[in-house]
Chain A
Amino acid sequence: MSFRIKIIALILLVSIVPYAFLMSYFGNTLRQRYYDNTLHEMQTQLSLNVEQIQQYLENIKRDMQFIGALDVMNDIYSLDVDRRISNLLEQKKVELELLGDFYVVDKNDSIIASSNSEKIFQKIDKEPFYSVDIISNINNEKIALLELEFSLKNFTKFFDNNDGQIYYIVDDGKPLFKSSSFEHFIVVRKALAFDDKIEIVLEKNQEDFLNELAHYEKLFILALLLGAIIIGWSAFILINKLIRPILELSHNVEEITKTKDYSKNIEVQGKDEIAKLAQAFKQMLSGIVKALKENELLNKEIEETQKEVVFTMGAIGESRSKETGNHVKRVAEYSKLLALFYGLSEDEAEMLKQASPMHDIGKIAIPDAVLNKPGRFNDDERKIMDTHAQIGYEMLKASNRPLLLAAATVAYEHHEKWDGTGYPRKLAGEEIHIYGRITALADVFDALGSDRVYKKAWDDERIFNLFKEQRAQHFDPKLVDLFFENLDQFLKIRDTFKDT
């Protein structure tokens, strides 16, 4: 996971999580507040309603007190036979749209007058809802009671019932006039001041409330998401801006590592720790570049030294056998050319060229008498001479330098023959290392074309015939073919590095 993503994730975590907690707490508070508000609204509505009802009751009471003091109440003495009081009570009942009745009741509980004519002269049987004393102004004594029989249903005319809410009454714990009910509801209740056993209850369909709440919740969630998006987006942009230098640095490093171009310029912006890091890195790079350059120079020197040493060693090796120095050089060149033609890389070919001069280093170990004998060798002398390959190999194989190992191989196998009649190990065909095969040809070509202690230089035609003859015997046929294909280049070398 990239640094950028880690940081962004971290920031988001650090900011979004508290945000989410805060918002949900906030949301919860709002929800609660909304519920409380709704409840409060309902209570206010209910209070108003109850106020109306209480006012209504007060008005009725006042009316009754007024009626009880009218002079027509003197008709109680005449038992209201003219029905003046009853008519008045009836009128009042109609005016108030009252569900209930008024009664004028005497000391014996007889109904003298009433808004309900059927009840007249009967005995009153129930406790009245409210009653007023009637006092006559003739003899100033209480002559009767004006009583009110009142149905609580009268209150229902103040109830504004609809699909979403209903009002009803609870009297002494029993619900009355409840027209419907909701499956889920919120309820508020308020008792009447007149009689606290009577309560008015307002029930609201919770569905409406919940719907509205859901609506608000959706809005809230939307806001929440929007907030989160904004936070996330801002974080993202901010982080990007902040870590850009780091990323740039990292990218540059990556590039440099990939391309190994240590001289690539690194821009430094700002002065913060990242900038300091970049600056240090830049310095480090220039240090590396410098070191590399030095290294390169040193390497080159080493390489040159190495070449020279090897060559010199080869020359030293040849010096005892009175061959000219240029023989070594020529053989090296022939070998490189052949290697290139054969398909070896430039590096390998070059290495072979540098290794080749050491192919006869083993001759150091051969006694002078053998080495510089002018005539033919006898068997013993031949045997001793032939050991120079093995000896050369033994001398060189101990190193782990590739150049010296190659030289070891060359020394060991440059006398092997394609048909397996060479020495020292009688390798055949491609068992013989290519270095060996190439060197064999190069060496023989040069040897034949040069004067030696034991012979004079052959002319070209004879050399070529020998090669043709020895193709696939002494020499790798492919190499022979290559040789002939590029003969002119070989001759050019011979000419270039001619012994003087």
Chain B
Amino acid sequence: MSLNAQKYELGQGYVVHEYINIGGYFSIDYANGENVDKARLDDVAFLMYGKLPKAFSYFVEFEAAPFYEKDFLSDTSQKNTTFHYERAYMNYDYSNSVNFRAGKFITPIGYWNLVPINVLRDTSSNPLFSYRMFPKFVTGVESYGYTSEESDLKYNLFIQATDDIDEDYINIKNNLFVGSSIEYFADDAFSFGGSLAYFETKEIRKNVGLLQVNAKYDWYPFLIQTEWGYTNIDNTQTDRTEYQLGGYLQGMYNFTEQHVLVGRYEYFKDTQLGELADEHIALLGYSYRPVYAFSIKGEYQFHDDKNANKALLSLSVLF
């Protein structure tokens, strides 16, 4: 029975109710290389969002990851069927310029962080830059919008002054995180931006300052994007100051709507890792999307450390 005004399309969610839209996603991947041979049902998640009265809206997302993992090298497997809060927040939309968000939400830094799931990514793997430098989620408040009625400049301001509401799923545990990012849309194809942030980690207390820049040129069938970041790490425990410098340059070519070729070069230097500081990765990937929300991707990574070379295969769906 067609309960909805619109027909359901894969990847655009299901309208259950005026106030309830639901969706979900999962991904399966397989990595094979010198040091790695494992298959995963990586993430399984449910999400629900909707508009509420008086310009409020909400969003929740529950994920269990890695849902199931089988390591062929060590012949072990692990399961993780507990669902954690990935995101849970409320919005208040006052105007184009003033919008508030409170709860646990994605850190609005960079391109990759905003689309953290396999199916929405261009490649199966995330560039190192995107998950090594800053916490992927903020538990706190954020205000965002266009700087003015006519401007094409978007801004973001966020503060976290507490622990993450579900610490299991954060890449960098922190209890203070504050930052701001901006993005300028020059025209339909070209946009660029940057962000400035500061956070303090838990466990080993580090005070980290971050500076990040990004730029994208999207001119179908081509797309080029690049991001670079620098962090200054004040390690209170070792009482040393370290730094990270990382980024990438990625190009994509759409043969057709459904077939895409991706190439990426990554660089990452982390003085905390000593001699292993410099990392170079070159990646070649290919993705096939019969519909956008269903992707089958393959890639091969060339590392400076040849032992780390690996092939990655994945299949993912968003409902």
User: What is A's interface to B at a CB cutoff of 8 Å?
Assistant: 66-67, 69-75, 84, 87-88, 91-92, 95, 135-137, 140
Inter-subunit contact B1/A91 (CB<8 Å) = yes
Inter-subunit contact B1/A135 (CB<8 Å) = no
Distance between Cα atoms of A87 and B2 in the complex (Å): 9
A142 to chain B, nearest CB (A): 12
Inter-subunit contact B15/A140 (CB<8 Å) = no
Give chain B residues whose Cβ lies under 8 Å from the Cβ of A73: 18
Distance between Cα atoms of A52 and B241 in the complex (Å): 74
Inter-subunit contact A71/B18 (CB<8 Å) = yes
- Listed A/B pairs (22) with beta-carbon separation below 8 Å: A66-B17, A67-B3, A69-B17, A69-B18, A69-B19, A70-B3, A70-B4, A71-B15, A71-B17, A71-B18, A72-B5, A74-B5, A84-B2, A84-B5, A88-B1, A95-B1, A135-B18, A137-B19, A137-B50, A137-B53, A140-B53, A140-B54
Inter-subunit contact B51/A137 (CB<8 Å) = yes
Give chain B residues whose Cβ lies under 8 Å from the Cβ of A140: 53-54
B49 to chain A, nearest CB (A): 12
Give chain B residues whose Cβ lies under 8 Å from the Cβ of A71: 4-5, 15, 17-18
Distance between Cα atoms of A92 and B2 in the complex (Å): 11
Inter-subunit contact A136/B5 (CB<8 Å) = no
Inter-subunit contact A88/B2 (CB<8 Å) = yes
Give chain B residues whose Cβ lies under 8 Å from the Cβ of A66: 17
Distance between Cα atoms of A74 and B15 in the complex (Å): 13
Distance between Cα atoms of A135 and B4 in the complex (Å): 16
Distance between Cα atoms of A260 and B26 in the complex (Å): 125
Q: How large is the interface on B (under 10, 10 to 19, 20 to 34, 35 or more residues)?
A: 10 to 19
Given contacts A66-B17, A74-B5, A140-B54, 8 further A-B contacts (CB under 8 A): A69-B17, A71-B5, A71-B15, A71-B17, A72-B3, A75-B5, A87-B2, A140-B53
The 6 tightest CB contacts between A and B, nearest first, are A140-B53, A137-B18, A72-B5, A69-B17, A69-B18, A71-B15
Give chain A residues whose Cβ lies under 8 Å from the Cβ of B18: 69-71, 73, 135-137
Distance between Cα atoms of A29 and B54 in the complex (Å): 70
In the complex, which residue of chain A has the Cβ closest to the Cβ of B1? A91
Q: Which of B3, B19, B54 contacts A88 (CB 8 A)?
A: B3
Give chain A residues whose Cβ lies under 8 Å from the Cβ of B5: 71-72, 74-75, 84
Distance between Cα atoms of A135 and B51 in the complex (Å): 13
B217 to chain A, nearest CB (A): 37
Give chain A residues whose Cβ lies under 8 Å from the Cβ of B3: 67, 70, 72, 88
- Given A137-B51, A140-B53, A140-B54, decide whether A70 and B17 contact each other with a Cβ distance below 8 A: yes
Cβ-Cβ contact count across A and B, 8 Å cutoff: 39
In the complex, which residue of chain B has the Cβ closest to the Cβ of A139? B53
Distance between Cα atoms of A84 and B3 in the complex (Å): 9
In the complex, which residue of chain B has the Cβ closest to the Cβ of A91? B1
B21 to chain A, nearest CB (A): 9
A86 to chain B, nearest CB (A): 13
Q: Which of B1-50 contact A (CB under 8 A)?
A: 1-5, 15, 17-19, 50
Which secondary structure dominates where chain B touches chain A? loop
Distance between Cα atoms of A135 and B52 in the complex (Å): 11
B263 to chain A, nearest CB (A): 42
Give chain A residues whose Cβ lies under 8 Å from the Cβ of B17: 66, 69-71
B76 to chain A, nearest CB (A): 46
Give chain B residues whose Cβ lies under 8 Å from the Cβ of A88: 1-3
B55 to chain A, nearest CB (A): 9
Q: Which of B127-155 contact A (CB under 8 A)?
A: none
A452 to chain B, nearest CB (A): 166
In the complex, which residue of chain A has the Cβ closest to the Cβ of B54? A140
Mark each residue of chain B from 261 to 284: 1 if its CB lies under 8 Å from any CB of chain A, else 0: 000000000000000000000000
In the complex, which residue of chain B has the Cβ closest to the Cβ of A87? B2
Q: Which of B162-206 contact A (CB under 8 A)?
A: none
Distance between Cα atoms of A353 and B15 in the complex (Å): 152
Distance between Cα atoms of A240 and B2 in the complex (Å): 93
A198 to chain B, nearest CB (A): 30
Give chain B residues whose Cβ lies under 8 Å from the Cβ of A69: 17-19
Give chain A residues whose Cβ lies under 8 Å from the Cβ of B51: 137
In the complex, which residue of chain B has the Cβ closest to the Cβ of A68? B18
A398 to chain B, nearest CB (A): 144
B156 to chain A, nearest CB (A): 27
Inter-subunit contact A72/B4 (CB<8 Å) = yes
Give chain B residues whose Cβ lies under 8 Å from the Cβ of A87: 2
In the complex, which residue of chain B has the Cβ closest to the Cβ of A74? B5
In the complex, which residue of chain A has the Cβ closest to the Cβ of B56? A140
Distance between Cα atoms of A131 and B5 in the complex (Å): 22
Distance between Cα atoms of A71 and B4 in the complex (Å): 6
In the complex, which residue of chain B has the Cβ closest to the Cβ of A137? B18
Give chain B residues whose Cβ lies under 8 Å from the Cβ of A137: 18-19, 50-51, 53
Q: Which of B33-85 contact A (CB under 8 A)?
A: 50-51, 53-54
B19 to chain A, nearest CB (A): 6
In the complex, which residue of chain A has the Cβ closest to the Cβ of B2? A88
A85 to chain B, nearest CB (A): 10
Distance between Cα atoms of A135 and B54 in the complex (Å): 13
Distance between Cα atoms of A79 and B4 in the complex (Å): 17
In the complex, which residue of chain B has the Cβ closest to the Cβ of A72? B5
In the complex, which residue of chain B has the Cβ closest to the Cβ of A66? B17
Give chain B residues whose Cβ lies under 8 Å from the Cβ of A95: 1
In the complex, which residue of chain A has the Cβ closest to the Cβ of B55? A140
Give chain A residues whose Cβ lies under 8 Å from the Cβ of B1: 88, 91-92, 95
Give chain B residues whose Cβ lies under 8 Å from the Cβ of A75: 5
In the complex, which residue of chain A has the Cβ closest to the Cβ of B50? A137
In the complex, which residue of chain A has the Cβ closest to the Cβ of B51? A137
A3 to chain B, nearest CB (A): 95
Distance between Cα atoms of A66 and B16 in the complex (Å): 9
B18 to chain A, nearest CB (A): 4
In the complex, which residue of chain A has the Cβ closest to the Cβ of B53? A140
In the complex, which residue of chain B has the Cβ closest to the Cβ of A82? B5
Distance between Cα atoms of A135 and B17 in the complex (Å): 11
A386 to chain B, nearest CB (A): 160
Distance between Cα atoms of A210 and B51 in the complex (Å): 66
Distance between Cα atoms of A91 and B5 in the complex (Å): 15
In the complex, which residue of chain A has the Cβ closest to the Cβ of B15? A71
Give chain B residues whose Cβ lies under 8 Å from the Cβ of A84: 2, 5
Give chain A residues whose Cβ lies under 8 Å from the Cβ of B50: 137
Distance between Cα atoms of A135 and B3 in the complex (Å): 16
Distance between Cα atoms of A381 and B92 in the complex (Å): 187
In the complex, which residue of chain A has the Cβ closest to the Cβ of B3? A70
Distance between Cα atoms of A67 and B5 in the complex (Å): 12
Distance between Cα atoms of A88 and B4 in the complex (Å): 10
A66 to chain B, nearest CB (A): 8
B108 to chain A, nearest CB (A): 26
Distance between Cα atoms of A87 and B5 in the complex (Å): 12
Give chain A residues whose Cβ lies under 8 Å from the Cβ of B54: 140
A341 to chain B, nearest CB (A): 142
Chain A CB within 10 Å, residue with most, of B18, B50, B54? B18
Distance between Cα atoms of A72 and B1 in the complex (Å): 12
Chain B CB within 10 Å, residue with most, of A66, A67, A136, A137? A137
Distance between Cα atoms of A84 and B5 in the complex (Å): 8
Distance between Cα atoms of A137 and B15 in the complex (Å): 13
Distance between Cα atoms of A74 and B6 in the complex (Å): 12
Give chain A residues whose Cβ lies under 8 Å from the Cβ of B19: 69, 137
Distance between Cα atoms of A431 and B19 in the complex (Å): 153
